Structure 1
Amino acid sequence: MVARLRPLEAQARVEGGDALRVFLAAWGYAHGALDQFTVADAATAELIDMGEREGNAAATASAFALRATMLQLSGRLESANEWIAAALPWAEKTQDEPLRYWVFMTAGDLALSTGHLQQGLFALQAADRSALAQGNARRGAQARITLAPLRLALHDVDGARDDAREAFRLASGAGNMPLQLAAKIIESLVEEEAGHRAERDRAHQQARELARRIEPPAVGASAINPAKGGPAWFGTQAEVVQQLADLHLRSRNYAAARRYAEQALELSRQEGGEEAVDLATISLGLAQLGLRHTVAGNELVNRGLAALEKGSTKVRLLAQLNRHAELLDELGDTAGALRQSRKALALESELVRNDRVSTVLDLQRRSSFEQNQRALESLKHDNELQASELERHRSERRLGLGLAAAMLVVVLLTVALHRRVRKANRALQAHNEELRYVGLHDRVTGLPNRRALEMRASELEGCAFVGLGIAINRFGRIMGSLGHVAGDELLCQVAGRLKPIIERAGGRLYRLDGLSFGAMLPPLGDAGALRGLLDELLLAVKPVFIVQRQQLAMTLSIGAAECPLHGAQTAEVAKAVQLAMRQAQSQQGNSAVIYTENLSVNERERLALETQLSQALDRGEFELFYQAQCDLNTRRLSGFEALLRWRHPDGLIPPDRFIPIAEESGLIVPIGRWVLHQACRQAKTWHDAGRDRPVMAVNISPRQFQHPEFMATVREALRDSGVDPCCIELEITEGAMMDDAESTIAKMAELRALGLHLAIDDFGTGYSSLAYLKRFPIDRLKIDRSFVRDLGRDEEGAAIVQALIQLAHSLGMTVVAEGVEDSHQEACLRDWRCDLMQGFGYARPLPEPGASALLEAHRAESMHDG
């Protein structure tokens, strides 16, 4: 592939635009497949430059997807997942369906590899739609074949069956027999899971007939997938069963995982293939560990890893080591997890080192080619000398002149050759130095990068030091609003303020990734000195930054840990730093947290809660409460706000505990879809029962609002419930609106066109621009309870509330005050002409029976007054 691409480079660079973008993506992908990741990184950097220079969203999406694919090929799945997540919004901005298909398929594959099954489902569904838009039956079949095992792991047997049969239909239309074989293998397993033996046997028989018709070279060729950097397509029943075992492991369904792993192991032994046997053995061991069969599980995993180390690729071994380490860490075996993590880190370092060596060897081969060219020139000159020797027999005079000229040419060529050799050696040495520098430094800030930090950490193993993790808060909003160029300028300014402080303390500042820095310092003596350093770093970013003639306020979240106080090994200290930084990010504004043991306990509790939260929707543990809103002038009920509650088996869990977890993990998207459907159905029920037509307000989370499927979800909820859209009000937070203001305005216009009411929630807590506020098609403004709480005691807060009411009325909006709890607050708001109120002063949140009774009482009172 590289040989076929090389002669196309000149033409691609002349044409530029999409031609160059596609060439660079293919060039980087091909070298990455050859483990020459440095060349792939150079292609990635050029694509990023193209995206920034030309404002080319497709180039940026290609760069991020290429980087994610390279990280996936090198076994670094979590980092790859972060890069492909960054590629998704850029891909959404393009109309290039082949590019979108590549990004969505890679995103789906990485989400499955890292255990984010719901994210993988959404991404693969988007890839299927992209294939449909292209009219590409083969790609559609690939997407459906990847979706079917996932749906089976998520217990959606009917969906898995539909995907498998649709995949077979598309593969048949494309004339692709290996894909037809994969579809029939999956269909047979789906029917077995459903207990339909006759259908299972029929699908299995069709798969056997297809396998006999496919020649061995065709099966091998089908394993190459240029559309995404994922695993080979299924060619045997063992591969499908192995995929199902891995999916159940990632969803922590260990009993099902053990069942499929045992079946995969038996099939692999029957069908042949040592690597398949090794992978099935490892999956069976991991399932046994998950079921707390520690001795048997570790024995199986270690046996599989040992066999894999002898006969498989190092990248495949790296992925299995990371899986083992992650499960041991989840099960509380910290020592075992650290051992496997160290092996994985050593293997990853070896892969990176091999990449550099291969690149240097390539340069040396080029130098050798130049030396051969010089040898050919010398041989040509020798031939000329022989010709002159023949001329000597003809003329004595010409002989003397020929010898003199030949000697002069020899001297000149020798000098020229010597100079060229020296120049080539200097160029090679300079290039090696440049590679060494680029490999250890960040391209934007010039700071040492993560690899340099890891090298320094290995040098400090066993020594005392202080580690810091520094994250820039809300950096993504700035990038989304102002672009990468402004983001890079801001990063340089932040680094310029932090670096002198770190260096005065004897440490060094590192750039870790898009929005975070790290630092390593010698011990500072006591906790007071460390706290003083953290406060100094926070104070350094308080003055506003000037970027592209705009003033930007910036805050940091800093985590700190010490060795050996918080961990005997550098890996333990790094984990402590991450936990402390995550705790700082959960706080508002500038914050710094020093690690304590409680953070580890809280993290374990949070992970347990996230696991239970992922199953709560299927178990029917969620319910809606409804808090009434009333007209301040008449004190008549005007509507309800739907509020989510989680009735856990251990008791009711407050929303402020589980909503942030759902938002961060992405579970808020399916949960929010359920809330919207339930609220619309309840509103329709009240309307049909003749209980007036109160407005039903539904909160929309930022992540749900920005999801590609949001508009489809809203239309589906309205269609399924049959509710009048004018009775539904969507409450969107101020921060979600400002993340991408232009896109938000267009999306809100679509919502208004459906007949929905729109409200801006928690107004006054963010950083809205009034220039944008008047462009948003908003019907209602909700004043946050933090401003209402101190009415009568805080004159400044009262002035803000009055100003917000006047501002909203001037823009044609109605105003709702949240958190009204006493008659004094209610009187103040009524005097200031606030329209509606909501809070304990009027009604508490009630489950459906209580809300229905309140609505019925209001209707009876209205009829009596009438």
Structure 2
Amino acid sequence: MPAWAAPTLAQQIDAIESSYGSEPAEVVARLRPLEAQARAAGGDGLRAFLAAWGFAHGSLDQLTVADAATAELIDLGEREGNAAAMASAFALRATLLQFSGRLGAAHEWISAALPWAEKTQDEALRYWVFMTAGDLNVWTGHLQQAVALLQAADRSAQAQGHARRSAQARIGLAPLRLALHDVDSARADAQEAFRLAGHAGVLPLQLAAKLIEAAAEQEAGRQAAGDLAHDQAEQLARALAPAASAAAGSVGTPGWAGSQAQVQQQMADLHLSARQFDAALRYAERALRLAGEETGAEAVDLARISVGLARLGLGRRAAGAPLVDAGLASLEKQGLKVRLLEQLNRHAELLDELGDAAGALRQSRKALGLEAELVRNDRVSTVLDLQRRSSFEQSQRALEALTHDNELQANQLARHDSERRLTLGLAVAMLVVVILTVALHQRARKANLALQQHNAELAHVSLHDRVTGLPNRRSLERDARTLESQGFTGLGIVIKRLGLIMGSLGHAVGDELLCQVAGRLKPIVERQGGCLYRLDGLSFGVTLPALAGGAQLAGLLDELLQAMQPVFLVQHQELAVTLSIGAAELPRHGRRLAEVAKAIQLAMRHAQRQPGNAAVLYTDELMLEQQDRLLMEARLSQALDKGEFELFYQAQCDLQGRQLTGFEALLRWRGPEGLIPPDRFIPVAEESGLMVPIGRWVLQQACRQAKAWHDAGLGKPVMAINISPRQFQHPDFMAMVHEALDHSGVDPHRIELEITEGAMMDDAEATIAKMAELRRLGLHLAIDDFGTGYSSLAYLRRFPINRLKIDRSFIRDLGQDDEGAAIVQALIQLAHSLGMTVVAEGVEDDRQERCLRDWGCDMMQGFGYARPLPARDAAALLDVQPSGAPQGDG
């Protein structure tokens, strides 16, 4: 920006956060005068204000204001298609959940923020999202991902020319690298952080950088260099606390001990996440010793728990378990519930990994109970409160101005009456007074009526959704409190893939579709004496009087789903809509509103995992299943490090000559109890975000195997590799592909990436650009499970795809189902007309194979030709092929 150019509103707000970020009360005070300007400006100015306003109030534990800011950011993002607003909303929500200790949920929200942040050029926002994501990945044990995210945060800080933020990112990176045994990089990051913090004039950051540098030098065995860094840290501590230094004569103050203890505790936690228990114990014991020199009981408890966990990891249960239990009990006694929740989850994960399933389940249940206690009810929209307050103040000012005008007019009339008293007389004066009084009364009455009407409109807006006109979340909370004493049935309804429709066709189409869906649901609900509410962008809520029995509720749920069967006509386009419905009853499924709301959410999430329309009534088994999913997620997060994954390979063959042409790499998980079916763990990996590092491993292993077969003289079979939707949309996906190709040395023309049509259509324009780049690398691309999603033929023609894979659901009844046969023939002709080859999946018998060959299908895959096999057995198939046969189709 030129020196003479005035800073934008967003830049002013960023400057306030940059200067006073550690003083949230000061940030709030300095932001308040900018609110009117931000609301008038809208767009990025309003987005920056709401993000800073919500974060500052969240830091002050004023979560009502922070939640209101999050809701308005989402509304702004949906209304204006503002990617920065969506990224800010998700990052703010993740931060609030992190403040409350709900780190798993926070990780999901920040994962959702990352794709939005990648679409913006706002480096300050990108820095916030990447730093938050890095921090949460550290807490959830994803250290490699955390390194990549903190590096991205550092790049954003450098793009801003912001030395302090860059120093903070490097201080986050250095201990991570140390825990991952990259000592030289850790030392370099700490030294660079020290330089940047010095440039920014931030002594506490310089102190932290020197302490980490000292730890790195000691890990590398350079004791002299470590002592020198430690001495420099002492000098910085004296500069930060000159009075304490003068009194003590050395840097042995509680503040100095606390700074050292924090670094040692951080290193202990990172080594625990990396399951390096010897190093973790060493750092944790130092942290405990240093924490004992200060008055804070919390630091002592955290260090004691870390020592105990490290000893448990080393098999010293008798020495470790009492320390963990004592630390947890002390945190509970102090009322430190957020810290307690974090430590309970860490303990549960470690116990599960060590084979103590009962202990892990016991601690997980404690954590789930504590998390439920910490979940707050959604707050009343602070934005509406502020609007109402502003309206009231404007009305008050209008009344004061009216009173002042009346006084002026009365004075003028008095003077006028005095001047003309001799000529007009008392009768005329009285007549004037009467007329003036009537006029003023009419004017005041008109002003009061306008004020009442305005207040009524505000009251209506605060209780109703602006798009559908339905009652909103606030109305639902009020009505539910009224029904609590007599019991009721509650429903949560989500429209599946509404985000895809809005992303493809625009928000105007999405809003009209919402109104039509509400128009079908509302009369059904009202016939049962209930009320329909619009809760947020994708979901509705329903309250009903307690129904007579399960059959009546089942009939209502079926009627709601059936109402979606006719397609919707929106702006001359036919759209199919499917719903996920979760249901629960009070007091059957909970004695309090919060418990019933949680039961509804759990049932609704279970329904969302089912294909098509689905309705689920809450049961205790769902809660147990949720707990099992949590335990599986914990196990899954460690499976990669333990080497429990392996790849099987299913052969593909040319239908005309029945010659082997390639393989599809299929992921398998071999746990302690044996092979775990993919349909059990892959959905959990997708939902938790673990599919990204797992997918990276699959990509690397499959490329290495293809190169190994080629080097062994077994031909050049094409290797097909499945790419999950979350992996394909990840900002580092192209880097993963380059890394796998470079490290394996495989010929890219021998690799085929299979991408589902749903992943392609989430952001079609961005997908086209990404796929074009993959094709430039020489890779083949296939669209997987074709026909099961919502692909647009207009987009399909533009996608640079080599191959189309017909889903097994269309192949199963070939020769028996004429309608299914017609669909398969049409798909083959469509693919060939677009220059694609066709692979049929799930071919199991001669009848299916004969039909496909007659219709001109190019290739097949299924049990009829070969089952998935380990690499050694798959290589045997290559051995028996004629020389040069397994060459793929080019």
Q: Secondary structure at the match of 1:577?
A: helix
- For 1:814 and 1:257, locate their aligned partners in 2 and report how far apart those are by CA, in whole Å: 54
Alignment of 1:462-541 (within 5 A): 463-541=486-564
Report what 1:299 is aligned to: 329
Deviations 1:359-387 (A, max 9, x none): 988888888999999999999999999xx
Query: Which of 184, 203, 208 is equivalent to 1:182?
Result: 208
Identify unmatched segments of 5+ residues in structure 2. 1-26, 244-256, 313-319, 349-359
Change (3 A) 1:769 1:861: closer
Change (3 A) 1:805 1:644: same
Alignment of 1:320-719 (within 5 A): 320=339, 331-332=361-362, 340=370, 344=374, 441-454=464-477, 456-457=479-480, 460=483, 463-719=486-742
Query: Which of 843, 859, 865 is equivalent to 1:836?
Result: 859
Q: Secondary structure at the match of 1:833?
A: coil
Q: Secondary structure at the match of 1:588?
A: coil
Report what 2:869 is aligned to: 846
Report the Cα offset of residue 669 of structure 1.
0.6
Report what 1:91 is aligned to: 117
Report the Cα offset of residue 154 of structure 1.
7.3
- For 2:842 and 2:878, locate their aligned partners in 1 and report how far apart those are by CA, in whole Å: 21
Tell whether the 8 Å contact from 1:462 to 1:569 is kept in structure 2 after alignment.
Answer: no
Report the Cα offset of residue 268 of structure 1.
4.7
- For 2:108 and 2:618, locate their aligned partners in 1 and report how far apart those are by CA, in whole Å: 25
Tell whether the 8 Å contact from 2:115 to 2:730 is kept in structure 1 after alignment.
Answer: no
Instruction: Tell me which amino acid in the other structure corresponds to 1:126.
Output: A
Change (3 A) 1:615 1:30: closer
Change (3 A) 1:136 1:796: same
Report the Cα offset of residue 447 of structure 1.
3.8
Q: Secondary structure at the match of 2:583?
A: strand
Change (3 A) 1:8 1:842: closer
Q: Secondary structure at the match of 2:816?
A: coil
Q: Secondary structure at the match of 2:697?
A: helix
Report the Cα offset of residue 600 of structure 1.
2.9
- For 1:369 and 1:73, locate their aligned partners in 2 and report how far apart those are by CA, in whole Å: 40
193-202 or 413-422, which moves further after superposition?
413-422
Deviations 1:713-732 (A, max 9, x none): 11111111111111111111
- For 2:90 and 2:577, locate their aligned partners in 1 and report how far apart those are by CA, in whole Å: 26
- For 2:281 and 2:593, locate their aligned partners in 1 and report how far apart those are by CA, in whole Å: 34
Tell whether the 8 Å contact from 1:627 to 1:843 is kept in structure 2 after alignment.
Answer: yes
Q: TM-score, normalised by structure 1?
A: 0.80
Deviations 1:647-666 (A, max 9, x none): 11210112121111111111
Report the Cα offset of residue 806 of structure 1.
1.6
Report what 2:13 is aligned to: none
Report what 2:355 is aligned to: none
Report what 1:207 is aligned to: 233
Instruction: Tell me which amino acid in the other structure corresponds to 1:829.
Output: L
Change (3 A) 1:134 1:542: same
Report what 1:734 is aligned to: 757
Report what 2:781 is aligned to: 758
Identify unmatched segments of 5+ residues in structure 1. 218-233, 309-316
Tell whether the 8 Å contact from 2:183 to 2:220 is kept in structure 1 after alignment.
Answer: yes
Tell whether the 8 Å contact from 1:282 to 1:304 is kept in structure 2 after alignment.
Answer: no
Deviations 1:483-511 (A, max 9, x none): 34433333333233223222322233333
Deviations 1:167-188 (A, max 9, x none): 3344345454332222223344
Q: Secondary structure at the match of 2:293?
A: helix
Report the Cα offset of residue 536 of structure 1.
0.7
Report what 1:796 is aligned to: 819
Indicate whether 1:167 and 2:193 are aligned. Answer: yes
Report what 2:131 is aligned to: 105
Report the Cα offset of residue 196 of structure 1.
7.0
Tell whether the 8 Å contact from 2:331 to 2:340 is kept in structure 1 after alignment.
Answer: no
Report what 1:223 is aligned to: none
Alignment of 1:84-163 (within 5 A): 84-109=110-135, 123-149=149-175, 163=189
- For 2:139 and 2:454, locate their aligned partners in 1 and report how far apart those are by CA, in whole Å: 40
Q: CA RMSD in A?
A: 5.0
Change (3 A) 1:245 1:539: farther
Indicate whether 1:785 and 2:801 are aligned. Answer: no
Q: Secondary structure at the match of 1:270?
A: coil
Tell whether the 8 Å contact from 1:524 to 1:530 is kept in structure 2 after alignment.
Answer: yes
Tell whether the 8 Å contact from 2:660 to 2:885 is kept in structure 1 after alignment.
Answer: no
- For 1:71 and 1:646, locate their aligned partners in 2 and report how far apart those are by CA, in whole Å: 31
Report the Cα offset of residue 207 of structure 1.
2.0
Q: Secondary structure at the match of 2:782?
A: strand
Tell whether the 8 Å contact from 1:109 to 1:120 is kept in structure 2 after alignment.
Answer: yes
Instruction: Tell me which amino acid in the other structure corresponds to 1:813.
Output: M
Report the Cα offset of residue 786 of structure 1.
1.8
Q: Secondary structure at the match of 2:881?
A: helix
Q: Secondary structure at the match of 1:774?
A: helix
Q: Secondary structure at the match of 1:759?
A: strand
- For 1:434 and 1:341, locate their aligned partners in 2 and report how far apart those are by CA, in whole Å: 38
31-40 or 87-96, which moves further after superposition?
31-40
Report what 2:17 is aligned to: none
Report the Cα offset of residue 164 of structure 1.
3.4
Report the Cα offset of residue 199 of structure 1.
5.6
- For 2:468 and 2:807, locate their aligned partners in 1 and report how far apart those are by CA, in whole Å: 39
Change (3 A) 1:169 1:439: farther
Q: Secondary structure at the match of 2:778?
A: coil
Report the Cα offset of residue 756 of structure 1.
0.6
460-469 or 790-799, which moves further after superposition?
460-469
Tell whether the 8 Å contact from 2:328 to 2:343 is kept in structure 1 after alignment.
Answer: no
- For 1:337 and 1:425, locate their aligned partners in 2 and report how far apart those are by CA, in whole Å: 54
Deviations 1:373-413 (A, max 9, x none): 9999999999999xx9xxx9xx9999x99xx99xx99x989
Change (3 A) 1:362 1:278: farther
Alignment of 1:55-66 (within 5 A): 55-62=81-88, 65=91
- For 1:575 and 1:50, locate their aligned partners in 2 and report how far apart those are by CA, in whole Å: 27
Report the Cα offset of residue 338 of structure 1.
8.3
Report what 1:231 is aligned to: none
653-662 or 138-147, which moves further after superposition?
138-147
Indicate whether 1:816 and 2:839 are aligned. Answer: yes
Tell whether the 8 Å contact from 1:462 to 1:568 is kept in structure 2 after alignment.
Answer: no
Q: Secondary structure at the match of 2:798?
A: coil
Report what 2:771 is aligned to: 748
Deviations 1:430-488 (A, max 9, x none): 66x77766665545444444455455555555654323222222222123223344333
Tell whether the 8 Å contact from 1:472 to 1:556 is kept in structure 2 after alignment.
Answer: yes
Tell whether the 8 Å contact from 2:808 to 2:843 is kept in structure 1 after alignment.
Answer: yes
Indicate whether 1:826 and 2:853 are aligned. Answer: no
